[in-house]
Structure 1
Amino acid sequence: MRSIILASASPRRAELLRQMGVSFDTRPADIDETPGPVERPSDYVLRLAQEKALAVGRGAPDALVLGSDTSVVLGDRILGKPATGEEAAETLRSLSGRTHQVMTAVAVVVDGYAQSCVVTTDVTFRALRPDEISAYVRTGEPMDKAGSYGIQGLGGIFVESLQGSYSAVVGLPLRETADLLAQAGYPVWTTWQSGQESLNE
């Protein structure tokens, strides 16, 4: 089988890929992540996932390259990573008591050709207290997260309900990623070992 490269610096995506039993190298992509002036959020995340995988794939033509991108969307507005603590707090106030969408795109590139998909999950926050927003911002957790929260971390207590893929909200939809890898000639289950213990232990 071809070697696999994850075109991302995200430790969360790396952990999810390891959870699937995949061996891979990490090579973050350096691309312009500025949204287009009239670009829809779903088109934006799909474009970035494809561009990340294609950019890394150009330097590794014999590898299978996986790119991904996640956006938190409220209405039609993409909520990126906060630049300041106050921006993080403002984002969390806007999410309080409301339902937003988390869109995660995955692209798998082989021989310069990309197969990709977008997974959209509805996430509803309970009403947040001002003091817990302040406390959460002080932890620093929101600062490298799209939408200013991490569902797999302390921010998970804010989530009232979720409809869709939990792993996609974390950063990589497991089922869809496995499907794309299989379509690209890498069915992950063929690499599993008999009696294999959890890779996380």
Structure 2
Amino acid sequence: MNEDATLTKHDLVLASTSPRRADILKRLGVSFLIVFVEIDESHSRGETPCNYVRRLALRKAEIAASMEYQPRTPVLAADTTVVIDGFILGKPSGLEQAREMLSRLSGRWHDVYSGLAMMQESSKTISVRTRVKFRSIKAAEIGRYWDTGEPRDKAGAYGIQGLGGAFVEKIDGSYSNVVGLPMAETIVLLEKYKVGHLLRPKITAPRS
């Protein structure tokens, strides 16, 4: 994090270094500070995907809030995962795991879950689910896709906003949720915590 960034007052702390999430907040016109948060992303036995992403998002928000870069500033955190056949697909460790994930998703429907957490004294969590259908993917395509570098930091080994979008045949639900930050639900949280955005600018007190 750039130390100079702390000299500027922001309306929000984003507990994520994901460029996709930052891009969505920029499009919404939100002034925010990015902080890096690292947590244990292990899945607990019997934990539903919905509860899993909400728990991780809340934990990220709690840690970021404790850093106190900008005290009393609302903190937003998110976590996104891909689920098929009841299995959670995280980020691939290498080509073989990416090949296994994409082969499993090929020609089938799967779920993408995002958990959002916002914190400022009290906390609020939201989860969003989107259904995604892949076309059939050839083995050679997976290898070439891996070589682009795009799938390496993506849950499920693909990015819908990039070349991975070429695998997507249908989508049922929020597109921005699959990217990593569902816009409609994010706006709900921003307004709950009085964070201004382009559709509803922050109201400031008039000068006396």
TM over 0.5: yes
* One-letter amino acid matched to 2:83: V
Which residue of 2 is the match for residue 199 of structure 1?
none
Which residue of 1 is the match for residue 29 of structure 2?
21
Gaps of 5+ in 1: 193-201
- Tell me the C-alpha RMSD between the 2 structures: 1.5
Which residue of 2 is the match for residue 31 of structure 1?
39
- Answer whether contact 2:16 2:78 (CA < 8 A) is retained: yes
- Correspondence for 2:181 among 172, 177, 199: 172
Report sequence identity in percent: 46
- Correspondence for 1:94 among 96, 104, 112: 104
Residue correspondence of structure 1 range 35-114 to structure 2 within 5 A: 35-60=43-68, 61-111=71-121, 113-114=122-123
TM-score, normalised to structure 1's length?
0.91
How many angstroms does 1:92 deviate by?
0.5
**SS class of match (2:67):** coil
How many angstroms does 1:177 deviate by?
0.3
- Correspondence for 2:133 among 124, 130, 150: 124
How many angstroms does 1:125 deviate by?
0.1
Q: Aligned partners of 2:133, 2:46: CA distance in 1, in Å?
A: 26
Which residue of 2 is the match for residue 10 of structure 1?
18
Q: Aligned partners of 2:187, 2:148: CA distance in 1, in Å?
A: 34
Gaps of 5+ in 2: 1-8, 203-208
- Answer whether contact 2:10 2:32 (CA < 8 A) is retained: no
Q: Aligned partners of 2:150, 2:130: CA distance in 1, in Å?
A: 21
* One-letter amino acid matched to 1:176: E
